[in-house]
Amino acid sequence: MVESTLEMAAPLPPQPAEMPRPPASIVPLWGLPIVGAVLVLEVVAIAGNWLWALDFFHVVGGGLWTGIDLFVGLVIGPIIGRLSVQARVEFSARFMPKMLLIMPTLVTMTLASGWQLARHLQYLDSSYPRHDWVVASFIVVGVMAVIALGLLEPANLAVLFELRKPKPNGMLIGKLMRRFTYTAGITGVMQLATLVIMTRLAT
């Protein structure tokens, strides 16, 4: 009788934790008005030839793009590599949806305003004494934009779609996250080259 009672009172084995999932909408809906406002203001600045606003968009966008790339690649990347599969999945479910909006917005801000500034300041003219530096900056930034939109964003989307599956593959998510963070680190290092070029043009 006692043994039967003890068996009935024995605790049940813990159930495996449910994999975290991204929200119903992969894109954070609350961020869309912010992105829309930024892009509208940039279009207004371009249409109105507001050099101070273009300079603001270029400096802020480029600075944030550089800082995020370096932070993700050199700080978050090594941390993710040491996390368990479950921890990687939990981090990805919260981190990747936000990056889906942040990075394309920063890339657009930086490139559109930078091109307009170069055009207004006649940096595109081949007679400009430091035209070679301008061309070099276009090459570096162009490669970074291709990496950001052609590698980072697809990896981001792949992680989010994998998380929406009934049984997400934690190992695949970890692999995609490593690709995302390492690629961000590469673009961050390339951003340092851009900073060297920009400071050279400014002096």
pLDDT at residue 19 greater than cutoff 60: no
What mean pLDDT do residues 187-198 have?
Answer: 82
Measure the CA–CA gap between 73 and 50, rounded to whole angstroms: 34
C-alpha distance from residue 110 to each of 120, 138, 191, 193, 194 (Å):
15, 12, 12, 15, 12
Q: What is the pLDDT of residues 128-179, one digit of tens each?
A: 888 888 888 888 888 888 887 788 778 778 877 877 777 777 778 777 877 7
DSSP 158: H
Of 14-23, 120-129, 165-174, least confident by mean pLDDT is: 14-23
Q: What is the pLDDT of residues 39-92, one digit of tens each?
A: 999 999 999 989 999 999 998 998 898 888 888 877 887 787 777 777 777 787
* 160, 163, 168, 169 alpha-carbon torsion, rounded to 10°: 30
| 6 pLDDT tier (thresholds 50, 70, 90) | very low
Residues in the chain: 203
Measure the CA–CA gap between 53 and 45, rounded to whole angstroms: 6
Other beta carbons less than 10 A from residue 61's beta carbon: 22
- Identify the pLDDT of residue 80: 75
Phi-psi domain of 117 (left: phi exceeds 0; alpha: psi -120 through 50; beta: other): alpha
What mean pLDDT do residues 175-196 have?
Answer: 80
